[in-house]
Chain A
Amino acid sequence: MDFKPCVNIRKEWDIVGARQLGREKAKEIGFGTVDQARIATAISELARNIYLYAGTGKICFEIVDDFEHKGLQIIAVDEGPGIRDISQVMEDGYTTSGGLGAGLPGVKRLMDHFDIISEVGEGTEIRASKWVR
Chain B
Amino acid sequence: MSALRIPILKLQNYLLISIQIDLDDQTAIQFQEDLLNKIHKSGATGVVIDLTSVDIVDSFIAKVLGDVVTMSDLMGAKVVLTGIQPAVAMTLIDLGIHLQDVQTALDLEQGLIKLRQELED
Spell out A's residues near B (CB within 8 Å). 11-13, 15-16, 19-20, 23, 33-34, 36-38, 40-41, 44-45, 48, 92, 99-100, 102-103, 105-106, 109-110
Contacts and interface: CB of A to CB of B under 8 A. Distances in A.
Contacts, number: 78
Q: Helix, strand, loop or mixed for chain A's interface?
A: helix
B5 to A, nearest CB: 16
Q: Helix, strand, loop or mixed for chain B's interface?
A: helix
B71 interface: no
Cβ-closest 4 pairs across A and B: A106-B95, A37-B87, A44-B58, A102-B59
Interface stretch (B6-14, B18-26, B41-49, B104-112): B18-26
A48 B95 contact: no
Given A12-B26, A19-B56, A41 B91 contact: yes
Contacts of A48: 25, 58, 60
Nearest to A14: B24
Contact of B25 (A12, A37, A109, A110): A12
